[in-house]
Structure 1
Amino acid sequence: MAAPYDTQLEQLLLSAAAGDKNAEQQFNLAQEQNFLGSLQSLVNIFVADGANPMARQLGGLMIKNSFFAKSEEVAKINQKRWEQLDAAARDSIKNPLLQALRNPERVVSHTAAQAAAEIAAIELPYEEWPAFLPSLLENVRDPKYPDSVKAASLECLGYSCDRIATLDKVVDEKTTDGMLNVIIDGISANRPNQVRLAAAAALRNSLGFAEKNMEKPEECTAIMNAIMEATRSQDPQVRMMAYEAIVQVAVLYYGKLQEFMTNLYQLTTTTIQSDTEDNVVKSAIEFWTSLCEVEQDLIDEAQDLQARGLQPETTCMQYVAAATTHLVPILVTTLTKQEENADEDEFTVHMAGQLCLTNIAQTVEDVIVPVLVPFIQQNIQSPEWRLRDAAIMAFISELEGPSQATIGPYVQQSVPILLPLLNDENEIVRDSAAHCISRICLLHVQYIPGELFPAVMQALDAKIKEGSPKVASQAASAIFNLAQAFRSTEEQETNILSQYMQGLLTSLLSSADRPDGDESNLRVACMEAISELISVAAQDVRPMLSGALPEFLSRFEQTFNMSVLSPEEKNRRDQIQGLLSAVIQSLYRQLDKPTVAPHTDRAMYCLMQVLSNKSSNIQEECFSAISAIADVIEADFATYMDQLIPLLLAGLKNFSAYQVCIVAVGTVGDISRNIEGRIQPYCDSIMAVLIECLKDQSIHRSVKPPVLSCFGDIAMAIGGAFQPYLQLSMMMLMQAGSTKVENVDDDIIDYLNMLRESVLEAYVGIIQGLRDGNVLQEFGQYVGPVLHFLSDIAQDPHRDDYVLSKAVGLLGDIAMTMTPILPQLKTELNQPFAAEIVREAISSADQNTVETAQWASQILNQAINSS
């Protein structure tokens, strides 16, 4: 007989389901105070046939969420609580869940599958739930249980496998074999579609920890045959799920594909050509898209390893290149399946095919061109709009991947054909033509014929004013890409865009103001194009830009009067303010101090007004604009510090929105460099927050490198006044410099290099600041650990050129500044690691690194040989 359930808890669950935050808080508090008791109360409601169905379902989900939380820390705490319960207590939860899996009500068994899977993921790695697998096996194989129970049991297995893999746990081989056997049994052709679908999903989820099984040829073959057989199911959902499992195999077990590629090619291509269900076709296409991504990674890895004299572990079998000649014509047919009224967020077969072709081009490069070009040439001027559009999209697909020498001539030939298509009678064709020109501007602007450049500019300007927001947005993106192509590190008196600047800015601003600016990202595309045009403006248009600054500030001021009664209105205002912040940043980067000074009070007022709004989500843009302002007005920026500092500290403390925190740290560095010693009155509070940031274990790791680098910026700004912060800063820097990791992958290597580069920058800044403040002797006690850090870098095979350059520069600084104070340093500097860093830096391909190394070598020799 089921235990009586708590009717008060039932009402609390119903209130929580209705969105009552107080009810949810009450439940969370009860769980914190009595973890086992709250779980038992929930399971009693969940298994009680007389309880409210909504309360039952939510009760089961609450059990699941007791182990799976959005916060990893909370999840670990709850898992620990569970592990500390005795076996009888745990059985009081597990046994009812196993019984609930046999409930004929689909909503009950499905929810039980989710909850039981979370517990299984914790216990199976420790072999602590012996009843779990036999119970589910019985459910799947015993005819007395309905299909809904069999499906729920297979779902439970799949969820368990997925969670075990996510938690990076290991299950013994016997348990793994048992789980896979049940799943393979469930996917067999004699099972009902409901059961096969659940088994296919479970198999997809289980592949992550089936590595040992995939290593055994007979088991690998059994798994692959089961999946491939399921792609022939009469049920489209089963077919789709089977292809999703095949995608997982391609990603996780590329090395096992060779034996099955002929069958997989036949299955996928037949499905792409003949299956009537779009979701199944998209899943079949995704196999090739994912295979491209895997092969691209393998090719890149092989090139990188070969450059270092190493051999890759996995060889790229070039399946995509082998299939290109026959596969591409099949995929091209999907480009003619345009949906005229498709939702912009809907991923269609047409889009899946185009994405796959793009990935093939990036994988096989020049090989795709002769395969695609005939279709493009035959159809780009076809009287049938679908074929015209398909030809344009096919051309877009091959723009990235093939070499410039191969694709360049075709780009050159395409421009005079594409320009008339911008005025095609069909909007989809106009949109694709504008998109194609946009991609050409991004990737191959040099192949736009010079005599046609004015026509291209005139056509894009006209399309920005087009009635269709989609076409206008593509034209604005083309202008953005074109402007990017004219970025230059050198000051330009004029450039080819100067004569078009006034007209383009006017057209873009007018389109950004359109009532339908929210559609097709039109407003964003126009404003981003404006920012980019301003960023690349030559000297001859700066008088025009100086006149634009007050206009954009007026627009910013007007945003504070916008209605924000709904979330949509707030988001629209935030978006406009963020875009205007970016424009103001671009203007300040281009204009000089005398020009911007009269307008800076207005600019700072707008930006600080936005930062004062705690609900604003554009703080990054505001801090970036403030950095640009500080860089232009330099020491005069100190005027704004009293008002700005509370907002800046709030940004630094925004640990949860780590991107905001990173930009705020950068703003501190920019301000420090510009107002120098006048930042000192604010340093106690700034340094306290930076230290707090470094101590916070939950903060995103990408925040720490800029924080460490900021120590150097502050030290250079305040000189000897940095002394009170020296000990704690050095402790943090030495701790960061000693960071070691066990699992070295590309992401970790990149992060460690970033971390070390920041530590090196901080050391250089601190040395310079203390030297300028005549207190450099305070650094003497830290020279030994810093040299040890440099020695570690010298021996690290994963360091990048940036770290090497910073390291050799710091070595030179120490030799130059510290040996007069600590003569005994001569011996420490005359060590193999120092010579090794200098030697490798002199051999660098980067000229700046070479010059720094040559300087450091000279300084070292002088220091070591001085009397």
Structure 2
Amino acid sequence: MTAQELILILDRTVTGSQADLENARNFLAKAAEQNLPELLKQLSDILNTATNNPTARTQAALQLKNALYSRDDIKAFQDRWLLIPEDVRNHVKNNCFNALGTETTKPSQAAQCVGYIACAELPRGQWRDLIERLVTNVTTVGRPDNIREASLEALGYICQDIDSNVLVPQSNVILTALVYGMRKEETNDHVRLAATTAMLNSLEFTKNNFQNDSERHYIMQVVCEATQSTNLKIQVAALQNLVKILTLYYDYMEYYMGPALFAITMDAMKSTHDEIALQGIEFWSNVCDEEYELQLLQQEAQDQNRQPERSSRYYARGALPYLVPVLLQRLTMQEETDDDDDWNPCKAAGVCLMLLANCAEDTIIQYVFPFVSENIKHTNWQHREAAVMAFGSMLEGPDVASIKPIAEQSIPFLLELLRDSNVAVRDTTAWTIGRIFEFVSQAVMNDELLRALGNALVNRLADEPRVATNICWSFSSLARAAYDHAECPEDDDTPNTYLLSPFFDEIVKKLIETTDRPDGNQSNLRNAAYEALMEMIRHSPKDCYVTVQKTTVTVLDRLNRVISAESHTANPNDRVQIGDLQSLLCATLQSVLRKMHPNDAPLISDPIMQALLQMLKSNSGKASAVQEDALVAIGTLIEVLGSNFIKYVEHVLPFVYEALNNHAEYQICAAAVGVVGDLSRSLLDKLAPYCDHIMTHLLNCLGDDKLHRSVKPQILSTFGDIALAIGGYFKKYLEHVLNTLNQACRAQVAKNDYDMIDYLNELREGCLSAYTGIIQGLRNSVAPAGDSTLALVELQLVTGQLPFMVQFIETIARDPNKSDSIIGSAIGLIGDLVTSYGQQMIEYVERDPIDKLLTEGKRSKIMKTKTLAMWATKEIRKIKNN
């Protein structure tokens, strides 16, 4: 097709009718399928021809971007681009680069195209001169401002999307351009803003520059100067830079805090422009976050009798006398029309105050409490609400002994404010009462106060949705606090009674009524009411069991009504609401099931199972969260019924297999894997007849590269559950499973990708669980004739894997990024191997990494890990002594 024809089609994607739009899109999709390289060439020609109309150029760039990048599968799109012949790629790259600064619309579409191509090519050592050419565009005197701005935007896109390690070797060159564009001498605000925004995206890979005093001083100087720009957007972008610099390079900030940063951020917090004020508050919130983390690390080092690697400079504590008054003033600036979802300086100030309280602990009280006392009865509602918000914000942080007397004194005022004429005051008061239950529950744990608070809260459940939502949250906190405060009989986790027992039934009844409110979909009220109901049930003592039984019947009745309503509903919006309600009822059902007496559960399990199977049936073949929730609820029923669940197995497994095949909706697949684990733990060897199908489905899941990675560790762990359940029967699957584990144990990830490091820990933990289950399952095997030597024979099936298993444990032991839970799992496997193989293990356990891992386990703060380490050490000592 000619360029003119393509321009006409691109125009139609914006200016034509709906039919024109669809036809144009289909035409472009077909052209991409038939000859993508040729299409990209033509699109880049249109983009680079300045005389073409702006709409066609913009749409050409958009189509180019769509061919270069997809958020869902970045790698596949980059690989596809790299397979295009080099001459075509060079043609497209030159066109995109040459189009920089020639567009009449902002931001530059060509800059985004350059950025996406760079993210595909730079990591693979291609387009090597790009960065230098962009920098030259910025720093060459006399180059047009449009080109300089677009080149800075391109640098910003590259810095934002690429793996930061790729740019480290060129960080000096890139910073030269960014600092040059940010200087106060720069007369073009568009250029300066583009440079400041790009600087924000570059901070991750400029670590070496920040370690150098002179370079750091210069960067900090231009950023601080940019905060004084008269252009609002430049000011905001410069402040965003300071916020990020503080987080990334806290240890270098002492030199700048007193002379510059303190004054800049304090002025920003007082600004009449919300965007600027928010950045000033965010700066100090990040200071608090960083210093709280450093306090925890310092405490940990102290406990282990060593020096901490980094220390807090206590900026937040030092700034308290100046920060708190500004934050309190901000709290009084709320508007009647403030939307719950809008983030504004008033809300940010409340969060900052909470973080400050965590950092400053008892010291915060002297700065906040006078404001609370002066304003709690103020005639202006903004001041009353600010006083309650300030009080609620400072509850977490100070020592309970310091805050308890103040909390006790506050109760009469809070009870009165729950009836305040202003809805915002009532809302914040309900939230603050919940905070008292959460952090200073000792202040209210007596009959008289709880009765007064309980009555007031129950009455307020009828208030406006936003208030009622916080009342529900308060009940959730109260249920946990009362339960923790109660005394349990010996050898029993459940107390006989607690302080809420006299009005437990009334609270549950009112919460159930609240879930039925016609306005329950406002302010998340229905969800909050069900959540509170679940917490009340979870934290119920023995003398409230009758209410638990009644609630079970109520929930089941509602579930059946909702299932029935679904079959008569055609409206898509109504179906979504019904689906949400089914999910909430499933979650509530789990709470009541966990509190059921073992003798009672089988009496009601038939109708429950019938309802859950009906939900699975009516949502079969759909992408529905209801399937996931129903499967999770079935998992709970399996736990509660134990081996009695066997009568439902054949009814449930077809839905489990369907869910295991649903690799696209990976949460549903994961829920089905969870059900298989629950069945293994409850049915034990009764599961053996069904395992051929189950194992086939699980191995198919692992073989699908498109299945979301989060499901795979769970499947490996489930192999361990099955092996432990069926013992010697598992040997028929052993070869496949051991090969799979072999591959999984060899997985590696980039050391700077924290998400992938977490995933690797999960994957390895799944492998350890599988090995542990296999070893224990084979060891515990006994032949039908009672031949206990069978276990020893079957363990020999895994003997050949011992060197590999120990090598895997050593790899984990050497990994500085291993999680606490993986240490416990690895040590548990060591203990099992020693117990199972005895003398054969001596050569393996006398190795330095194993020894260090056991020492690390003994020092762990997690009691389970510590216990496992002591046990494994004892087992090793036994075989050495023998």
TM-score, length basis structure 1: 0.89
Separation of aligned partners in 2, 1:153 and 1:4:
28
Q: Deviations over 1:796-831 (max 9, x none)?
A: 777666555555554454444445xxx756776787
Separation of aligned partners in 2, 1:267 and 1:728:
63
Change (3 A) 1:793 1:253: closer
Retained in 1: the 8 A contact 2:179–2:195? no
Q: State the AA in 1 paired with 2:610.
A: Y
Q: What residue is the counterpart of 1:157 in the other structure?
A: 155
Q: Deviations over 1:75-98 (max 9, x none)?
A: 334434544556643332133223
Change (3 A) 1:179 1:17: farther
Whether 2:348 is the aligned partner of 1:358: answer no
Q: What residue is the counterpart of 1:269 in the other structure?
A: 266
Q: What residue is the counterpart of 2:798 in the other structure?
A: 782
Which among 776, 781, 788 is matched to residue 772 of structure 1?
781
Which among 222, 229, 250 is matched to residue 225 of structure 2?
229
Deviation at 1:164? 3.5
Separation of aligned partners in 2, 1:50 and 1:836:
70
Q: State the AA in 2 paired with 1:520.
A: S
Q: Which residues in structure 2 correspond to 1:152-301 (within 5 Å)?
A: 152-165=150-163, 168-173=166-171, 175-185=173-183, 188=184, 191-262=187-258, 263-273=260-270, 275-301=271-297
Which among 637, 642, 650 is matched to residue 629 of structure 1?
637
Separation of aligned partners in 1, 2:520 and 2:874:
60
Separation of aligned partners in 2, 1:826 and 1:253:
47
Q: What residue is the counterpart of 1:71 in the other structure?
A: 72
Q: What residue is the counterpart of 1:502 in the other structure?
A: 505
Describe the SS at the equivalent of 1:732. helix
Which among 537, 541, 562 is matched to residue 540 of structure 2?
537
Retained in 2: the 8 A contact 1:662–1:706? yes
Describe the SS at the equivalent of 1:355. helix
Q: What residue is the counterpart of 2:691 in the other structure?
A: 683
Separation of aligned partners in 2, 1:106 and 1:832:
64
Change (3 A) 1:178 1:832: closer
Which among 731, 739, 743 is matched to residue 731 of structure 1?
739
Moved more, 658-667 or 534-543: 658-667
Separation of aligned partners in 1, 2:806 and 2:194:
60
Change (3 A) 1:618 1:368: farther
Separation of aligned partners in 2, 1:507 and 1:564:
28
Which among 383, 388, 410 is matched to residue 414 of structure 1?
410
Moved more, 123-132 or 423-432: 123-132
Change (3 A) 1:742 1:83: closer
Retained in 1: the 8 A contact 2:3–2:42? no
Q: How many residues align?
A: 854
Q: State the AA in 2 paired with 1:202.
A: A
Separation of aligned partners in 2, 1:758 and 1:131:
44
Moved more, 847-856 or 374-383: 847-856
Q: What residue is the counterpart of 2:586 in the other structure?
A: 581
Separation of aligned partners in 2, 1:742 and 1:554:
51
Q: State the AA in 1 paired with 2:70.
A: A
Deviation at 1:456? 0.9
Change (3 A) 1:179 1:840: closer
Moved more, 378-387 or 125-134: 125-134
Q: What residue is the counterpart of 2:552 in the other structure?
A: 549
Deviation at 1:133? 5.1
Deviation at 1:839? 7.2
**Paired-residue identity, %:** 33
Q: Which residues in structure 2 correspond to 1:390-539 (within 5 Å)?
A: 390-448=386-444, 450=446, 451-466=448-463, 468-487=464-483, 490-539=493-542
Change (3 A) 1:400 1:182: same
Deviation at 1:793? 6.0
Change (3 A) 1:162 1:797: closer
Separation of aligned partners in 1, 2:864 and 2:203:
49
Q: Deviations over 1:657-701 (max 9, x none)?
A: 544444332221112222233323332232223223334455554
Q: Deviations over 1:183-234 (max 9, x none)?
A: 325xx35524444333322222233333344344444333323222222233
Separation of aligned partners in 2, 1:769 and 1:15:
68
Q: State the AA in 2 paired with 1:37.
A: E
Q: What residue is the counterpart of 1:664 in the other structure?
A: 672
Separation of aligned partners in 2, 1:840 and 1:130:
49
Q: What residue is the counterpart of 2:331 in the other structure?
A: 335
Separation of aligned partners in 1, 2:418 and 2:696:
57
CA RMSD across the alignment: 3.6
Change (3 A) 1:139 1:216: closer
Retained in 1: the 8 A contact 2:100–2:150? yes
Separation of aligned partners in 2, 1:141 and 1:790:
56
Describe the SS at the equivalent of 1:6. helix
Q: State the AA in 2 paired with 1:183.
A: G
Retained in 2: the 8 A contact 1:13–1:55? no
Separation of aligned partners in 2, 1:680 and 1:662:
21
Describe the SS at the equivalent of 1:106. coil
Separation of aligned partners in 2, 1:854 and 1:194:
65
Specify every segment of 5 or more residues in structure 2 that has no aligned partner in the other structure, as ranges: 485-491, 784-789
Deviation at 1:379? 1.5
Q: What residue is the counterpart of 2:113 in the other structure?
A: 115
Deviation at 1:321? 1.9
Retained in 2: the 8 A contact 1:332–1:353? yes
Moved more, 91-100 or 585-594: 91-100
Describe the SS at the equivalent of 1:772. coil
Q: State the AA in 1 paired with 2:429.
A: A
Deviation at 1:33? 5.3
Specify every segment of 5 or more residues in structure 1 that has no aligned partner in the other structure, as ranges: none
Change (3 A) 1:243 1:788: closer
Separation of aligned partners in 1, 2:424 and 2:717:
49
TM-score, length basis structure 2: 0.87
Retained in 2: the 8 A contact 1:183–1:203? no
Separation of aligned partners in 1, 2:809 and 2:207:
41
Change (3 A) 1:778 1:596: closer
Deviation at 1:154? 3.0
Retained in 2: the 8 A contact 1:150–1:195? yes
Separation of aligned partners in 2, 1:219 and 1:714:
59
Deviation at 1:339? 1.7
Q: What residue is the counterpart of 1:10 in the other structure?
A: 10
Deviation at 1:611? 3.2
Change (3 A) 1:16 1:755: farther
Retained in 1: the 8 A contact 2:67–2:77? yes
Q: Deviations over 1:614-673 (max 9, x none)?
A: 232244432221111112222332333333223223433444554444433222111222
Moved more, 485-494 or 323-332: 485-494
